[in-house]
Each structure stands twice: as C-alpha cells, then as structure tokens.
Structure 1
Amino acid sequence: MTGWRLFSPRPWLTAALCAAVGAGTLTGCGALSGAGSDDPITVMTWAPENTKATNMPEMPAMAKAYARWVNDNGGIHGRKLKVLTCNERNDPSEAARCARRAADENVVAVVGSYSQFGRYFISALEGSGIPYIGGYGLTQEEFDSPYSYPVNGGQAALLAGNGRQLASVCRRVSLVRPDTIAGDELPELLDAGLAAGKRRAATDVRAPEDAGDYMRQARTALNGVGAETALGGAAQGAELPDSCVTAALGERTGTFFDSFRRLQEDHPKVRIASVLGSVRQSLVDSTGGRESPLEGAYATGWYPAADDPRWAPMKKVIKDYAFEDARIDAEDPGTQTTWIAYTVLRSVLNSLKADDISARSIRRVLDNGHAVGTGGLTPELRWGFKDALSIHGYPRMVNADVTYQAVRGGRLVAVRKGFVDVSTTLRRYAKTD
C-alpha cells in the first residue's frame, strides 16, 4: 500500500520553522513550549466511533481508564496524564483532522489508536514531530514511518499467521475481505502463510465494508473451495473436511457469518476461520455461545487468549477505573492493544525527567532502544536500529508473533502454547511482493 500522501500546509511550514528558529523554542517541534514540570502530559488516542463500518470505541475508552489509574497512583513524576480523544469516523479527512488537532494541542504522542488511513495522518504527525505508539497495525505507513512504534505485527502478521494456521487443516481456502485499499494486501499475506504449509493460494472474495447481507460473497466463498457448483447450487453429498472459509471484515464479520450460516447447513464439513478483531468473544456470545455457528472456528491473534492470567492487571484497571463503561471489552484486541501501547508510553515517560518530557525526548528514548516489558503479553519491545526484524516493506516491525486460537465450548481459547513467530513467512512474502 504505497502511494502519495496527503500533506497539509501546516506540517511542512512547521518543520521549516523548527529548522529555522530551533526546535526547543517553538510548539509543534517535538517540545512542550512553556510547559512546566507540573503541567499535564498530554497525549491523544483516536478511533472510529458511530460509523456504518468498523467501530473501535473501546480504544479511547481504555485510554481514559488507563489515565485515571495512572493519575490515581501519583501520575508521572507527579504530573497528570491527560488523554485527548478524536473520532476519525473511518474517513480519511477526519483522520487527517485528528492528526492536525494533535499538533495543535501539542500532544507528546498519539497512543493506542486505530485508523486505516495512514497516508492521511502520518505526514501531519511527522511534520509536527509526534510519535505514533501502538497503532492497530492496519496500514503500511505504520510500518514505514520512523515516527511509528508498532507493538504488534499488524494485519500482515495476522493474515500470514492465519494462513499458516489454516494450512495445517485445510487444503482449499477462500478469503472474504474488505474491498478497500487496506484490504487489497490481505490475500497475498494469507497466501504467504498457506504457501509456508505447501497449500495453494486462497480464493479472493471482495466484500463491501458496510453491507447488510453477504449472501453473494458467501456463495462465492463456497464456490472457491469447491462446495458449490458454478451455478450456485449445492454439491449434493460432497464431503469437504479439508475446506475452509476465512473472513477478515472487522465489525461486519458477524454479518458475513450470519449469511454464510444459512448456506453452510448444506456444507457442514466446511470449516470457518478469521482473525482476532474480526472475530471477538463478544461476537461468539451474541451469536449463541456454545450454540454459536462460530463454534469450532479457527482464529489467529496477536496476544494470549483472553482467559490468560497475564491479562489480570489490565482487567483490574478496567474494573476499578472504567466505571462500568460498556464500551470497554477486556477480551477485545483493540482494548488489549491500547493497554500495551500505554504500557510502552508509561515506561518511556518514567525513564525521563519530569521537565524533559516532550515528543522529541520520547522519540529519542525509543530510538535508542529503550526496552519495554509487557508482562509476557508480547516479547520485550524495543525499537532501536538493531531491533527491527529486517522484513522488506515493514522496516518498523519489531514483533511478528501471533497466537493460534479456536472457539471451543463457546470460548476463544488457545490451541497452541506460546507464540508463533511469522517473521520468516513475512520475509518470504516480501521477496515475492
């Protein structure tokens, strides 16, 4: 996903002024102009809310709860952590607006955020010197920009990992994915994982992000694994224990599987799969729990399963400081990514002096290889020059670990102990890209 980036006048003008008068004397140059050691430390978290496509309200809500917890425990060197939030509405102009607002508000970092419009927001952050810590990993720019510090392997690791997971159980696979720029990369990534298991490429099924029904895509997906005839009729008596349909439609994945379920009754041997974020525990619960059509589905995630005890600290913070905020789901990867991103931020801020906290000093600490432990939720995270995984096209990736999960007894549970490193698979993908 390369191409032009949208530049607003303010970033390049700010950058030029920074160079002319000195970065330490101008707001927007990576320093807090006029900020005293008692002033709040201001950061921002953005995500889409109240849209017809994917919504991630749990991320800004988790950020707010995290700040309340930090501030109730003395803050950062006695300074309050202030979290601004912005609704990027799944809209490129709104994503750019959120980034401009971050610059206007002199935030020291954008943390734990979600947007599929990296080319629209990253230039504004770069021009203002603001680091982007722990984005959701949807866009190429998050793995390109030297101002980005991803905590997971993004969609690339999920799809490559899902391909490897399915290669062990499926001979034929169909992928249903968004018909968007961000979705265009997904088939090749899934195919890289399938190829690692000596399976052929998946059938690519494009789907609108905001459809209310996916019957046409469900039939196409079944056709792709040989479960339907070219005319769309059932292949009566077909035994298809080695066919899988995987969907990565974000919030609309549940809508797709609802359509798919009506056809699947004629094809009980077709397995279903997805990636965490598209399939969530809340979706399993809302579709019947143990009786859910998702029972038995495979899923690939970035982090340990939600019932893992390593999530206990996060769950306690949610219980004590979210004030029963219904937007926060501890089992959602958006909530989990925000927790990890803020864990990184807090570690960096605590390593700095109270009067030396700025966007520039945060970047300096991270670029110098500051190590962050996440309690086993990820490997130790570092973004020094030697810490990158050397994957062509993903120069900022430092963590390519995934986990294999499945829906069993109405719960998403681990089906393999520990993490699976897909960096080698991604390197092979990059060579053929």
Structure 2
Amino acid sequence: MKRRVVITGLGVISPIGNGCTAFWQSLISGRSGIRAISRFDASGLPVRIAGEITDFALEDYSPAPIEYLTSDGTRLKFDLRTQYAIAAAELAVREAALTVSQLAEACLYFGSGEGPNDLEWLAQLLSPYALSEGCDTARLLSEARDPSFALHDQLMEATIPASVIASRFGIEGEVTTCLTACAASAQAIGEGMRRIQTGECDVALVGGAHAMTAPLDVIGFASLSALSTRNEEPTRASRPFDLRRDGFVLSEGAGALVIEEREHARRRGARIRAELLGYGLSSDAYRITDMHPEARGPIAAINAALQDAGLDPEEIGYVNAHGTSTLENDRTETLALHRAFGKAAPHIPVSSTKSMTGHMVAAAGAVELIATVLALEAQLLPPTINLEEPDPECDLDYVPNRARHHEFRFAMSNSFGFGGQNVALIIGKDGS
C-alpha cells in the first residue's frame, strides 16, 4: 500500500510578496506584481516589463552566505535564482520545524533552469579577445585559466540551487534536479511524493526556483512572440483567458515545500497543511514550441492524477490553472479540462494566479501549488485578474477579478512545460 504524504512546511519568494502571509494577501486582493524592468535598460526592446522581485535581501531569510568562496579565496556571488531558492527553502524548513537529524535523512527534489544570461559579464569576458572580424577564440581558450572564469559558468548550472540547499541543511539523501521547464518544480513535488509513498524516505524538501528576467531571456522569448508587449500597462499585461491577451510575462521567484509521511508528521506534532493525493505526468510527444492541438498530454496528466488520487472529476473543487495568458495555452488547457472533467467541467472553478505573479517558469508549479494549499485552507479562491472580455473558446468559470469564498475538499494544480512536459497535482484536506 502507498504511504500517505502530507505538506508540513511552505516557503515562497515572489513578485507579489515574500512569505506565505504577504503572498496570500496579494493574491486575494488581486494585486499584480508586473512592472517596468528596472535591472537593465530595456528601452530598446519590444518587451520592457517583467515580474521582478524588488524587496529581497537573502540575509533577511537565511544566514547562508551570499557568495561562494573558493579554496584560493576567490569570491563569486550566487545568482538571484539560487538566492531565492535558499530563502524559500529556509522558510519552509523553519515552518516545518525539522531537526538536524531529520534533515540529514531527508531527500531533496528541486526544479530549476539555467542561471541568468548575464550580458554584462559576457561582454567583460570577451572584450580583451575582440577582433575586427570576430573573437580570438584560440587566445580566449588558452588564457582562460582564472578560477573565476570557470566558476562563474559552473554557478549558472541548473543543479546549483539544489546543491547549495543540500549543503545549507545537511541533506544527505537523494538530491535531484528536475529540468522540465515550466513543469519542473511541479514534477519535483510529484517525485518527492513518490519516494515517500514507497518508503524510500520519510521527509523531502521539494520545490523550484528560477529568475528568467535577464536581457537574453527577455530577448529570446520576445523573439518567439510569446511575451506580452503591453508595456504601457504592465499590471494589465498578464490576462489569462481574456480575448485580448497577447502573451505571458516573464517573472522570477521560488517556492519550497516540506512534505513527509503522514504518521511521521503526526508523531512529531507537525502542523499538517494539506495532503498530497495525486500526481500525473505525461509528455505531448509533439512539438517543442507548440502544445498538441487536441491537448493529449494535459488530458493524460490530469487523468493520471485523478486515478492516482482515487477521485472522480466532480470531486475536484478548484483548479489552479497553468493559465499563461498565451492564445494557445489557455485554449488548450480549457479543452483539456473539458475532456478530462466531462460534464463536471463547467461547475469547477478555475483560476490563474499567473495573472498576478507572471510566469516564474521552473518555479511556477511550486508557487502555484502553495497558492492552492492556501486557498484550500482559507476556502477562498484567488481570482484571475484582467479577465475583462472572455475568449469564447475559454468558457469555464475562471473566477474573474475578485476572490471568491467556496467550500471544497480537493483541488488540482496544473503545470505544462515548454517542450511538452505536463504535470497535474491533487491535494486535499488532511483526513479527507
């Protein structure tokens, strides 16, 4: 029999608030965290808005050092993605009140992506080797012996947040980084859940972090015509399911959860916030940049999560949608919910918190599951803001513009990743 898995710690760093209290108050107030880009001069770009975190200092959350010190004394600062990851993990571990020995026996599953594409550092790196006809590659390779040269590159690796967190908390169990783009942190939660269910560990720290708000990130997604260009109205730019949506908004942040075997949590007197019941994972096996037009992957993930949880579609009381605010995603997700939930679909409220947070990419799934846990606890649904003129092809109840009181026992959170990765997670009240 599968062991039961519960959530005992939550930590979030986001453009609408750091820590669960500030984050939740912004969600139910319908406050957007999208603003004009401030970290670099974006005036020449077609997209000049993002979900930047502007009120963050790692020392406010953790005694962990902000720099990596090499054996020869070289100091390199951790990127924002890694700092956010440390802070979110600190909040979750602190709330769960885990001991040093419990952390040592825990496992860690974390969703992430590459570090920031730092144009300034790249320009400094290459400038001594510039030639009229290009770059003196041979000289660059022969002279690149400074430890900081290699270490800067290594600290951008997707595995760094998990490695740093494991070191910070002395986690000696399995440490795994999930690299499934927008579904990464949701997959990390599901994989941690599986390990606990099968008895491979009693406690897991799970979640994800990303900060894709650097120049090359914005330029890259803008070149794909994936981003909103509503630069003069940043707070109205992310508008899932609205007829006039024109793309998603890149954002940054981190979400972390402590999950553990239910009886383990009860024996140590931990506060149980919710129970993890279902995990569904699938691939579109279609195109890298497009979802399957018949939503095959999302339908499969949703159905798998329902089967895993042992629930019928009509028992789901709320869905936190992937809801990116792109034409394709919102229509395809609506189709998936219709196909998976059948006659129950029109009666299940759905909302997209990306309308307020923007798209945190690898961190999105974890942050949105945290929002779902908070909604279940409060019996209050966060709204989809900026939903002013519904797309006729998006015809479900999207909780437009205002939070809504709603009684429900079970909820689902969807995460669909670039490249066709799909994850659905189901939670319920403990003891449901």
TM-score bucket of the superposed structures, by smaller chain: under 0.3
Higher strand share: 2
Greater relative contact order structure (CA < 8 Å, 6+ sep): 2
TM-score normalised over the length of structure 1: 0.24
The two structures have a TM-score, normalised by structure 2, of 0.24
